[in-house]
Amino acid sequence: MARFEDQNFQVDVYEPSLEIQKVANTAELDDDGKSSRKGNVWTASAHIITAIIGSGVLSLAWGVAQLGWIAGVTTLAVFSGITFYTSNLLTDCYRSPVTGKRNYTYMEAVKNNLGGRVSIACGMVQYAYLCGMIIGYTITASISMAAITKSDCFHKRGHEAPCRVSHNPYMIALGIFEIFLSQIPNFHKLSMLSVVAAIMSFGYSSIGVGLAFAKVISGQGKRTTLSGVEVGISLSAAEKTWRMFRALGDIAFAYTYSQILIEIQDTLKATPPENQVMKKANFMAVSATTAFYMMCGCLGYAAFGDNAPGNLLTGFGFYEPFWLVDLANCFIVVHLVGAYQVFSQPIFSAFESWASKKWSNSKFITKEYLINIGIVKKHKLRINLLRMIWRTLFVIISTILAMVMPFFNDILALLGAIGYWPLTVYFPIQMYIAKGKIGKWSWRWLVLQVINLVCLLVALAAACGSIQGLNKALNTYKPFEAKE
């Protein structure tokens, strides 16, 4: 360690390889020689809820409206059950059954269970999906920030006023803030941010449910049907079919978190066994999420009927009380700020691990600078040049892409279709079959393949519906134009 000081600041420079050698207290190390993990069932549940309850919950009322009471409620329940079941299958793949070695990432678990080539395909899907989620969250957060401005405008000038707001300044502001948060070194340091984000998600979901419930019991609820939006003069049978496909994608998206499950599990303490704790966290998080989703989807549909907005809190189904709508949108922004980090940390970690192995002697990549913060100098900020530069570039590129992709519902459906089947269903089932040596054409094998096939068909249908919706939106879209 080298130290540089003057009257204004003090910087400690660490070489990681030397620092590891100086660790005297072995209790601070885990079974693999790395820093001990301190996560528990509550922090894991917070990470999961932060990942699940996001922008997807805002579109569930629209999704139930397209599918109707029977198909809508059934789809919510089925996807909840499938996600919980396959997540538990994936949880058991965290450690090798032979050596007990930990798999630190989803891609590594696939590699050790299904082979290197399959893991490459998994990695391509996983990281492409995570990048898409980050772009989607940037879009959604900017929509909520713009909705606050529009809500105040409607309150002052009337509900029919032409309140045009550009989302781009909000995306830029969010990107600048995320650049600073992205310097958080790893997933293990995100626990408090995830707890705050999870509380925010429950906050805005509760406000949406409460406003919808108030509208229903006040007698202002709209007509609903068992089959959803009805075909008529304003809606052709083909268009209804495409909408139903997109609704399936929205619901699939709303339950997806398997792509970061292994990374979350890797934050748990070694005792009790990680898979047991993670299964409890899966149950707690998926149960709470399903309850909120049922309330948001069903009460939103009961309140708005066929005209349920694509985004419950920013589509201006509710104008008053404007301050409560503004508060809900503030909660959404805070939650998505945290969710952005939860989804970006696996990408950061993958690239930085690869770079450190490729150029292990490069001080630019490996050297850490500890900067004292405050007069007392008890707190230290850890800076790494590679981490600072590459994460900043990643956030900038993601923000630019978000500025030219503002199609909320259709992007949700496409992301759900791309990520849900392979990451939540296919790979966990295939790893479970390989690990358990389940024979072909056995009853268990057949049941698993039926789940696989059904989810694949749903994913294909959702992808087709979202592509059709994106095509329609692109015909009228003008880049960087202010929205009403």
Structure confidence at residue 411 (pLDDT)? 66
Q: What is the pLDDT of residues 199-211, one digit of tens each?
A: 888 888 888 888 8
The answer to whether the CB of 469 falls within 8 A of the CB of 413 is: yes
The answer to whether the CB of 423 falls within 8 A of the CB of 384 is: no
pLDDT beneath 50, residues of the chain: 4, 6-9, 11, 13-26
Residues 6+ apart with CB under 8 A from 323: none
Q: Which helix (DSSP H) or strand (DSSP E) does residue 476 occupy?
A: helix 443-476
The answer to whether the CB of 264 falls within 8 A of the CB of 251 is: no
Structure confidence at residue 31 (pLDDT)? 66
Structure confidence at residue 51 (pLDDT)? 81
Write the DSSP assignment of 273-308 as a string of letters.
-HHHHHHHHHHHHHHHHHHHHHHHHHHHHHHHGGG-
User: In this structure, which amino acid lies at residue 392?
Assistant: T
255 closest CA partner among 386, 81, 392: 81
Residue 409 phi, psi dihedral angles, 5° rounding: -60, -45
Output the CA–CA distances (angstroms, integers) from residue 325 to 308, 318, 319, in the order listed. Answer: 16, 7, 7
Beta strands 368-373 and 10-14 are: antiparallel
How many other C-beta atoms are found inside a 10 Å radius of the C-beta of residue 230? Answer: 12
Q: How far apart are CA 336 and CA 398, in angstroms?
A: 14
First to last CA, the chain: 57
The answer to whether the CB of 314 falls within 8 A of the CB of 207 is: no
Q: How far apart are CA 210 and CA 418, in angstroms?
A: 32
Q: What is the pLDDT of residues 105-114, one digit of tens each?
A: 888 889 888 8
Beta bridge mates, 369: 13, 383
Residues 6+ apart with CB under 8 A from 114: 427, 430, 431, 434
Write the DSSP assignment of 33-92 as a string of letters.
SSBPP-B-HHHHHHHHHHHHSSGGGGGHHHHHHHHHHHHHHHHHHHHHHHHHHHHHHHHT
Q: How far apart are CA 201 and CA 209, in angstroms?
A: 12
Residue 442 region, left (φ>0) first, then alpha (ψ -120 to 50), else beta? beta
Structure confidence at residue 247 (pLDDT)? 85
Structure confidence at residue 445 (pLDDT)? 93
Q: How far apart are CA 410 and CA 467, in angstroms?
A: 7
Residues 6+ apart with CB under 8 A from 368: 13, 14, 16, 19, 382, 383, 384
Query: In the chain, how many H helices and how many E strands?
Result: 16, 4
**pTM of model > 0.85:** no
93 closest CA partner among 434, 420, 346, 353: 434
230 is written with which tokens? Answer: 């009805």
Structure confidence at residue 8 (pLDDT)? 46
Structure confidence at residue 306 (pLDDT)? 87
8-18: b or e for each residue (b if 16 or more CB lie within 10 Å)?
eeebbebeeee
Helix axis angle, 443-476 to 427-436, nearest 10°: 160
How many other C-beta atoms are found inside a 10 Å radius of the C-beta of residue 467? Answer: 16
Q: ∠ at Cα 388 (387, 392), nearest 5°?
A: 110
Structure confidence at residue 391 (pLDDT)? 93
The answer to whether the CB of 418 falls within 8 A of the CB of 132 is: yes
326 closest CA partner among 340, 338, 314, 339: 314
How long, in residues, is the chain?
484
